[in-house]
Amino acid sequence: MATSHSDNWNELHCQQGSCKIILKPGDLLDEKDVNVLVIPTPAGGMNPDNFQLFKSIYSNADENCKREIKKVCFNLTQSEPQTFSLYGLRYIFVAPPYVGNRDKAPKYLKETYTSCLKLAVKSNFRTIAFPTIGCGVIGFPIDDAARSVYSAIENFCQSKDGKKMDEIRIVIYDKNIYNEFIVTVQSTQPIVLHLPKLKCLRVKGTCEIFHLVQASPNLECLRISLNCFNIALNDTSTCKLLQNRITDLEITRFQEIDAIQLDIIAEKFNHLRDLSLSLDSLTVFVDSLILKVLSLWKDKHLRGLYIRGLLTDEMRQDLRQWFINHSHLRQEDSFVVEYKRNWLSMWLE
């Protein structure tokens, strides 16, 4: 479910499949551009004075309509709400859940919302507006009610009937209730990342990085520990994203030169231009590691190679000549190499 604030900061808009969900403060009876309004209705001897929305509708009805409304109230049950039209406006009258056992309250509240949504679809309504049923005189805990309402709506939208509903609104009259509903809904949403300006990602520790990479279409540079990089390599989706984007790769936190899957990196990371390898230990000679990289990237377009580790005395005596003697590089090739502070730096173009 994607979430965003509308231009009116008081509203929260969510998208669940093809159905838009809106949380907004206000008076339900002011919602005119909606197919049907859900009205909690006194049934089974409940006191009408506790149902302000119902009282407002009933008081504006003529005597004939009042008699029809009373018939609806008499036959109303929680599981079977009923539609009612009055002066061109359409309502769903529903008996609110009432239980003394808090453990059962969420279940009954979900059923109340679900039964109204199913009736709306059956009646060919495409948009519907609810109040916060159960948060008034019935006194359901607001956080429980918010979770129950969100769960009911989410489950409905994922059902077959949910595809027949275009918009569900929750219109909330009380500021405290509204804030609680907003917090609850936002806490259930996945974090949606969009990081078009992120070009370099430095990862510490071991974690899954797919969502970060997916959200970063312009990512070019990756600094990452070997353990974390191996997780990424073994995940097909993450690896595909990385191999298409990364041009500058630094792998850190490894102990042995054979621990890195250089052949896989060379095979898959065709856009790689700069490669850095940083061993934890400064007691490991890296001559063979350097030669392996040069061999694997012989026919590729590697621009810079940077490796942290020890060099043998023979290698340090004349770096350039050592590479000419031990690799495919020749005297006439253009390359620069230096060794400072335990880092070998090599520029190949």
The 8-class DSSP code of residue 77 comes to: B
What is the reported pTM?
Answer: 0.55
In the block, residue with structure tokens 């006191």: 47
User: Per residue in 42-72, pLDDT tens?
Assistant: 887 778 888 899 999 999 999 999 999 999 8
Least trusted range by pLDDT, from 12-26, 176-190, 335-349 = 176-190
Residue 324: per-residue pLDDT: 96
What is residue 7's predicted lDDT score, i.e. its pLDDT? 38
Q: Is it the case that residue 2 has pLDDT exceeding 70?
A: no
Would you say residue 190 has pLDDT above 70?
no
- Look at residue 55 in the predicted model and tell me its pLDDT: 93
Q: Which fold has domain 2-188?
A: Leucine Aminopeptidase, subunit E; domain 1 (3.40.220)
> Cα angle vertex 121, ends 137, 177, to 5°?
25
Mean pLDDT lowest for which of 6-15, 181-190, 238-247, 252-261?
6-15
Give the pLDDT confidence score for residue 1 in this predicted structure.
42
Mark out the alpha helices in the chain (DSSP H runs): 52-59, 63-75, 105-122, 142-157, 175-188, 210-214, 226-234, 236-245, 262-268, 287-296, 313-317, 319-326
Residue 5: band (very low, low, confident or very high) from pLDDT cuts 50, 70, 90: very low
Q: Give me the pLDDT at residue 32, please.
A: 87
Contact assessment for residue 219 and residue 245, using Cβ atoms and an 8 Å cutoff: yes
In angstroms, what is the C-alpha Rg of the chain? 33
Spatial strand order of the sheet with 127-130 comes to 2-5, 12-16, 19-25, 167-172, 127-130, 36-40, 89-94, 82-86
Evaluate if residue 176 carries a pLDDT over 90.
no
Tell me the per-residue pLDDT of 68-127, one tens digit each, with 9 for 90 and over.
Answer: 999 988 888 778 999 999 988 999 999 888 655 556 777 888 999 999 999 999 999 999
- Sorted by where each begins, the domain ranges of the chain are 2-188, 200-347
User: Which residue in 150, 155, 157 sits closest to 19, CA to CA?
Assistant: 157
- What percent of the chain has a predicted confidence (pLDDT) above 70? 93
Q: What pLDDT, in 10s, does the model give residues 133-175?
A: 877 555 677 777 888 888 899 999 989 999 999 999 999 988 8
